[in-house]
């Protein structure tokens, strides 16, 4: 995705401020879940921000995302009070579960469970002799 400098700047600003909002308002919205704003993608017209969230200590991640999406107008209002002087229009927020951490864990597990036989010492020696 080719983002303009303005998109990147706004995305970084939103990521920082949303992280601060979730950090301060943990009990009210997040019910003591540990949430990290992993990435923010923003449309070229700066009207929609896609916020990718990583969660720890959460049994049902989809349920928490649904709660956050249900209260996104409240979150957008708080965000508007914070960044209102910097942005002319506060983008609409869409929250998603960040799948990268889960995918990385699954790949690590797959790699750890591979059954790769050790290389033959004799064949390695022969290959080294041929190279020399």
The pLDDT assigned to 122 comes to: 60
% of the chain residues with pLDDT over 90: 36
Q: In this predicted model, what pLDDT tens digit does every residue of 14-29 receive, in sequence order?
A: 999 999 998 887 666 6
Tokens of 63: 């349920």
3: confidence class by pLDDT, cuts 50, 70, 90: confident
Query: What's the average model confidence in pLDDT over 38-59?
Result: 89
In contact, 46 and 10? CB cutoff 8 Å? yes
131: confidence class by pLDDT, cuts 50, 70, 90: low
Say if domain 5-131 classifies as CATH 3.40.50.300: no
Sequence spans of domains, the chain: 5-131
Bridging pattern class, strands 92-97 and 34-42: unpaired
The pLDDT assigned to 34 comes to: 80
Q: In this predicted model, what pLDDT tens digit does every residue of 53-109 receive, in sequence order?
A: 988 777 888 888 898 889 889 999 999 999 988 988 899 999 998 876 666 666 667
Tokens of 58: 């959460």
**What is the rounded distance in angstroms from the CA atom of residue 114 to the CA atom of residue 78?**
48
Residue given tokens 């959460």 in the structure block: 58
47: confidence class by pLDDT, cuts 50, 70, 90: very high
């Amino acid at each position: 995705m080719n983002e303009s400098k303005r998109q990147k700047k706004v995305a970084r600003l939103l990521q920082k401020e949303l992280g601060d909002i979730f950090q301060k308002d943990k009990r009210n919205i997040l019910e003591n879940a540990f949430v990290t704003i992993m990435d923010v993608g923003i449309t070229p017209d700066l009207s929609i921000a896609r916020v990718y969230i990583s969660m720890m200590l959460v049994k049902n991640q989809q349920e928490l995302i649904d709660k956050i999406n249900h209260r996104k107008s409240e979150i957008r209002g708080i965000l508007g009070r914070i960044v209102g002087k910097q942005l002319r229009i506060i983008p609409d927020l869409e929250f998603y579960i960040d799948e990268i951490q889960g995918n990385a864990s699954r790949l690590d597990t797959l790699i750890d469970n591979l059954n790769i036989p050790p290389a033959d010492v004799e064949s390695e020696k022969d290959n080294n002799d041929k190279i020399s």
